[in-house]
Structure formats: structure tokens, C-alpha cells
Chain A
Amino acid sequence: MNKRLIMLLPLAVFVVLALFLGKGLFLNPREVPSPFIGRPAPQFALAEVGNPARSFSPKEMLGKVWMLNVWAPWCVSCRQEHGVLMQLKDQGVVIVGLNWKDKDREAAELMARMGTPYVINLEDLDGRVGIDYGVTGTPETFLIDKQGIIRYKQTGPINAEVWTEKLEPRMKEMAK
């Protein structure tokens, strides 16, 4: 091969690499598609936090579009998200909280202090329901349609941008 061409090789390799890196900037490596999307939401029966007599099962929500928000009092990003959820509640979004592995039982006190965005906040003390939903961390939010099918999973906190760009359009679509 021509010597000049060989000397151009490093540059060519770098250009290809830079194109990939540029593409990579617009991808999110943490966004892993959930295998649960398109599947019926796993069934469970859990008690409400602070009210063991009230039990809840996803079956109750058939016919409604709702959000299952997995959170924990010890989770910092959940607190960031809390304000957004409060606003969504005021807009009439139905949110069910799954209080995940809250060993210190801080949730009730926290909700009393900061307000609750949830129609019901469920106690998943040993995290078993979280496992059924493939939860890897908090916060995670599932959008569930009228037929009880999981349609979308948001990993990480919901902020105004996530809501307007990802969740709201989908929920409107599902409400039709």
C-alpha cells in the first residue's frame, strides 16, 4: 500500500470513532427497555402503608389509565420527583405508590409532612412485588393502560421534561 495512505489510516480510524461518539451523546446507556412492556402488569395484593386493613390489587384499576410509582423514603431522586408528582395529582393523574423496602417505616411520616401524590401508597416491605416488576432501583414508574397492560417504564425521576415529552403523550394516547 502507498505510504501516504497508511499514514492517513489513523485519521480515518479516528473519524469513524468520533462519529460513533457523537451518536453516543444522544443515546442513554441507562435506558434499558423493560421486558414487561406490552405484558399484563403482574398481579399482587398489598396493604396500604399505615392501614393494614386496606388491601389493593391492580385488578381494581381495570378500565383506568394509571401510574405505578416505585419509590422509597431513603431515595434522594424520589424526593426531587415528589414535587412533580404532587402537581400531576392536581392535574388528575392517578398515581399508585409502591413504597419499596422501607425498613425504617418513614413513609407515613414523610407523606404527612410533604403531602401525598398517591391515591394509595402500598407497603412492599420485602421488595417482592418490586422483583415481579423487574425494579432495579428507585424511582421507577410504570404506565398501565385500561386493559391492565404495562405500556411504558420510566427509569429515574420524573421531571417536567420527562412528563411533557415521554409520559403525557403516552397517557393521552392510552386514555383514548
Chain B
Amino acid sequence: MIPELGFFALILALSLAIIQSVLPLIGAQTGNARFMAVARPAARAQFLFVVLAYACLVTSFLLNDFSVRNVATNSFSQLPAVYRFTASWGSHEGSMLLWTLILAFWTMAVSVLSRRLPEDMAARVIGIMGLISVGFLSFSIFTSNPFERLLPVPMDGRDLNPLLQDPGMVLHPPMLYMGYVGFSVAFAFAIAALLSGKLDAAWARWSRPWTTVAWGFLTAGIALGSWWAYVELGWGGWWFWDPTENASFMPWLAGTALIHSLAVTEKRGVFKAWTVLLAITAFSLSLLGTFLVRSGVLSSVHAFATDPSRGAFILGFLAVVVGGSLLLFALRAPAMASGTRFSAFSRESLLLMNNVVLVSALGSVLLGTLYPLFLDALGMGKISVGAPYFNAVFVPLMVPALFLMAVGPLTRWKGASLPEMVVRLRIAFVVAIVAAVAVPLAAGEFKPWVSVSVGLAVWIAYGVALGFRERLKHGGSLRSLPRGFWGMQLAHLSMAIGIVGMAMVSGYEDQRNVKMAVGDTAQLAGYTFTFKGVEVIEGPNYRAARGHLTVHPESGSDFALSAEKRIYNAGGMPMTEAGIDYGVFRDIYVAMGEEIEPQVWTVQLFYKPFIDWLWFAAGMMALGGFLAASDRRYRVALKAKDAA
């Protein structure tokens, strides 16, 4: 009964989404206020029914209703309750429903927080988001029904993919989707502006907080995914340039460019067409990412079930949404007047350079991700593009962007003096060069990329410090600085921290693969590992061999580590659960390999310097985004309207 209720709720949500898109869009075009007024209640009702549908799905999972195909293939009676909950989005059908739910949530948020918007603008934005909802709800209902029944009813489920049974996977998909789908708001604003022809600073101001919040979620989501890969895949890696990872990274790059160009459009009224194009691009890449992951056109470590009819549906949807938007853009954008002029050295020009670099980087990732598909489609053979390409192309592209990151925020709008800037930053430059030489030498071995990265990190950090000093030169306290300023500086500083983490771990990580029997020892990076043996553990839905080691550092006290090799009861899939000792300056990471003789195991030992700086930086960056979006000026506008 519950699954049928859920499916019924989905059908009602689809009907409401159609109303939510058709009437307000017609109303806004014809100036019919009654039609426009339908937008908000329809969006809220649609949200309620999608929530109801999702609740039905979760209930089916929690009650172990194996008559539902989705539950039978992705859950298991012995699965712990928290993973039965997360299994609701562990499958293709479930994750598409989560997409829809989060889209409905964002639409609802727009309907609540859009009181200061002109009525026709709000109607258009909600209407366009409704159109996207129509697409995704139809997709679920017609090709990916999460409530499909299964006959005969199996005795037990096939269990959630063990890879997904990890705390990192509890939060990663919702966070990622909050980001992905959140760009639909910026997209809807852009299309609404194109439709109305009112593309002005006010439009940029409305779009900014939504974009920044979505970007913050996406940042956090990507970082959680990276942390999950580090802990769960047992290879000690944190980024693999896998197509699925790239699928989330490309919208992030476009979103980062969008945040910056929105700032210019709001403050100076320039780059309007470009900003609109970026808003369309960021959301199009979210849709493209969904297509790549869901259709199976690219092989990937975590690609899900593949089905050409689903791929065809998403591609058709992609063609309508992206093709339609770009056509609208091509028709309307030429009429948009470019605003005021700015000089060759100004904050505008630096932000333009930032955008050029970010978009080039985005292009390089897109090319590398789709290149195997291009060749295959042209019948030119099968290849895979791996980390060497991305590292060789993407990483050098980031250098100018990072260099400009310190300069941009210190530069005035309209025009600034380059010689004056050189004077202001000369000490920063010297400090950065000293750090670039000293840090790699102190670490024991000079590596060019570590040197460049550390130099850039110090350069950026110095720029952030200088920014605060100049803001406080004429008095005032740190608390009096606007949150927008804080958010930007936090995000920039976090980039410096993240670069140090990436450079140090890439430059100085160390690993060994050793064969160990009880009592054996192995050395790595000044740590002595002693193998204490293996015990067999019965988990809730798996059996594990848990290996115990003690680690003796050169200085400080010994500590114990344990790593597991799990065999899951349903399916018998083996999984590694790494043992990690986290530290500010290094992680010690062990993973169990195979039992090659009785009581003799291969064990992988890793030394990962500064790796946690990466995830700390990502958290700080997301926080910066949220802080910036909560800036007073976005709320002041809201209050002024309320008072009036």
C-alpha cells in the first residue's frame, strides 16, 4: 500500500509541476496577475507531494519491504537502519527521486524567500524550475519508477553496494545534489531575465546568494566524496579524475566562475551576457553530469546500472533544456548592452582573467572526460584518459588563477595603478619566494611543484592578510566587516590551505606493500609498523578479518591501528576498511590486502603528509560561501520591502 501511495504522490506532484510551470509562465508573458499568483502555492504543494513520495520510499526501506524491486536490489534485512535509510538514494531510481526532492526543496525555498522580487520575475523563476521538475518527475514515473513491485517476493534483499556502506556516503549524495540542483536557481533566474529582457544589476544581486549557497554545498559534497574515496577504496588516493568525479567537478568550476562574474555584473553592470551564459553552463553541466553517470556512456568505478532508454530520456531532456536555453541566449543576448568601460588593469579585468582561466580549465576537464567517447563514436578506437592528462593540463592552468587570487581583491574597480600594486605586494612576493625555496628544502627533497604551490599559497595568504589590514586601516573592528568580505577571504585563504595539502601529499607521500606475519615489522617514513595478527569479526551484515598493528613513531608514543577486510553476507563482495591515524601534519594509513598463507597477509602502508588540510580547506571554503550568502545587504533589501 505504501509504495502505491508514493507512486500516486509522484503523479500528483507531476500534475502540480505542470500547473506550476505553465500558468505562471503564461501569466508573466501576458501580464495576467492571477496566473502568476499560482506559482507559489503550486510550488509548495508540489514540494509536499514529492516529500510524501520520498517518505514512502524511505518507509519501504526501513520496513524491509522486499516486494519493492528497489528495496530488494538495494537493501538487506541485516543492513543497519542508517544504511537502510541511505539505501533509499543508493540506487538509480532512488537517487533520481532525491534529485527531484532537492529540486522541489529549492523551488519551495525560492517561493518563500522571493517576496522582494517583482511578481513577474518570481513567477518566471518558479515556472522555469517547475519545467525542470516536470522533466525529472516524468523521468521517474516513466522510466525509473522507484516503487515498482517485484513478483515473486524474494526472501531477502541483495544488499546495498558495500562501497556505499560508509559514513561518508550518508552525507555525500544529498550535499552534492544540493549543489548540483541548487544551480537550477541561478539558471532559472538567467532564463527569466532573458525572457523578460530585464538583465540588470538587480538580477545579479538576486542570483548571487542562491548561487553562492549552491556552490558551498557542491564544495562540501565534492570534498565528502573525496574523503569517502580515501577511506573506502583502500588505495589511499583522494582524487582519481574519474568521469563521475569530473561530472561533479565541472559544475563546480563553472559555478566558481559564475560567482566571480556575478560580482562584476552586480557591482559594475558589465559581463551581462557572459554571466547569463555561465549560469546556463553551470546548470547544463549539472544535467550533463547526471546524464554521464546515469546513462553509462562512460565507464567509471562507480557508474550505476546502465539502460539506453534512460540515457535517451535524459539526453532528450538535456537537448530541450540546454538547447532551448542556448537558443534563447543566442536570440536575446545580442540586444543586451554592455555596460560601462573599465581599464586594462582593474578588478573587472582581473576577474575577467579569472573567468578565462576557470573556463579554460573547465574545457580541459570536459575534453578529457569526453575524449574517449569522441574517439569511440568516430570509430577511432578505445582509450581511457587518466590522471596524467589532467595533471599535465589542468594543474598548470590553475597557476595564473591562483596568482591573480591575491591581486584581485586588492585592486580597485574601474581602474587601478599597476606600479602601485607592485609596491603594495613586493613584500608578499619576497616572502612567497622565500617560502617556495625554504619549505621544500626543509621537507627533505626539493620538488618543483611543491615549491610553486607553497609559494602561491603563501602569496594568497599574504594577500588575504593585506586585505584585512587595508580594510581596518581607518579603524573599525573585525566584526564590523561585512560577511561578504569575510566569506570571500575565508574561501581564498582556504584555497591556500588546500594547495599546501595537495602539494605536500603529492610530493612527499610514501607507501609500501609488505607481506606480514604476526610479529613482523616494517619501516615507512620513520614509522615502525608491527603486525599483531588478525581476528575474525562478525559485523551486522558482514564478516571481517581485522588486522591489528602497532605503530612506533621516531618521537612520541606508540599507537595502535586496525584495518579490516570485509566480506559482505549478501553477494560476498570483499571490501577494505582502512585503518587511519589522522594528524595535523600526516595521516598514517593501513589497508589489508590478501591472506597469502595462513596468518600471513599483504598489508599496504601509507604515509600521507598534510592530507587532512585538503578536507579542512574544503570545509572552510563551503563555510566562506555560506557566510558570504548571509551578507546583510541581501537581507536588508528583504527587510526594506517588508517595512514598506
Q: Chain B's nearest CB lies how many Å from the CB of A30? A: 5
* B334 partner, pick from A4, A17, A26, beta carbons under 8 A: A4
* B326 partner, pick from A10, A23, A32, A74, beta carbons under 8 A: A10
Query: Taking the complex as formed, is A8 at the interface, i.e. its CB lies under 8 A from any CB of chain B?
Result: yes
Query: Taking the complex as formed, is B323 at the interface, i.e. its CB lies under 8 A from any CB of chain A?
Result: yes
Complex contacts, B291 vs chain A, CB 8 Å: 21
Are the C-beta atoms of B326 and A11 separated by less than 8 Å? yes
Q: Chain A's nearest CB lies how many Å from the CB of B416? A: 29
State whether A21 and B374 are in contact (beta carbons under 8 Å apart), knowing that A4-B334, A7-B330, A11-B326 are contacts in the complex.
no
Are the C-beta atoms of A24 and B330 separated by less than 8 Å? no
Complex contacts, A7 vs chain B, CB 8 Å: 273, 329-330, 333-334
Q: How many angstroms from the CA of A24 to the CA of B297 in the assembled complex?
A: 6
Complex contacts, B296 vs chain A, CB 8 Å: 29
Complex contacts, B330 vs chain A, CB 8 Å: 4, 7-8, 10-11
Q: How many angstroms from the CA of A26 to the CA of B312 in the assembled complex?
A: 10
Are the C-beta atoms of B277 and A18 separated by less than 8 Å? no
Kindly identify, within residues 284 to 336 of chain B, every residue whose CB is under 8 Å from any CB belonging to chain A: 284, 291, 295-299, 308, 311-312, 315, 318-319, 322-323, 326-327, 329-330, 333-334
Query: Taking the complex as formed, is A25 at the interface, i.e. its CB lies under 8 A from any CB of chain B?
Result: yes
Closest to A104 in B: B572
Interface string of B366-391 (1 = CB under 8 A from A): 00001011101100001000000000
Are the C-beta atoms of A20 and B323 separated by less than 8 Å? no
Complex contacts, B373 vs chain A, CB 8 Å: 20-21, 24, 27, 29
Are the C-beta atoms of B370 and A20 separated by less than 8 Å? yes
* Majority secondary structure, A binding face: helix
Complex contacts, A11 vs chain B, CB 8 Å: 323, 326-327, 329-330
Query: Taking the complex as formed, is A76 at the interface, i.e. its CB lies under 8 A from any CB of chain B?
Result: yes
Are the C-beta atoms of A25 and B334 separated by less than 8 Å? no
Q: How many angstroms from the CA of A12 to the CA of B295 in the assembled complex?
A: 23
Interface centre among A17, A27, A29, A30 (most CB of B within 10 A): A29
* B323 partner, pick from A15, A22, A26, A33, beta carbons under 8 A: A15
Can you list 28 A-B contacts with CB-CB less than 8 angstroms, sorted by A residue number?
A7-B333, A7-B334, A10-B277, A10-B281, A10-B326, A10-B330, A11-B326, A11-B327, A11-B330, A14-B326, A15-B323, A17-B370, A18-B322, A20-B374, A20-B377, A21-B291, A21-B297, A21-B373, A22-B315, A24-B298, A25-B295, A25-B297, A25-B311, A27-B373, A29-B298, A32-B382, A76-B571, A76-B573
Q: Which residues of B contact A (CB under 8 A)?
A: 273, 277, 280-281, 284, 291, 295-299, 308, 311-312, 315, 318-319, 322-323, 326-327, 329-330, 333-334, 370, 372-374, 376-377, 382, 571-573
What 3 pairs across the A-B complex have the smallest Cβ distances? A24-B297, A11-B326, A29-B299
Query: With contacts A27-B297, A27-B377 known, what are 17 further pairs, Cβ within 8 A?
Result: A4-B330, A8-B330, A10-B280, A14-B322, A14-B323, A14-B326, A15-B323, A20-B370, A20-B373, A21-B291, A21-B295, A24-B295, A25-B311, A27-B376, A29-B296, A29-B372, A32-B382
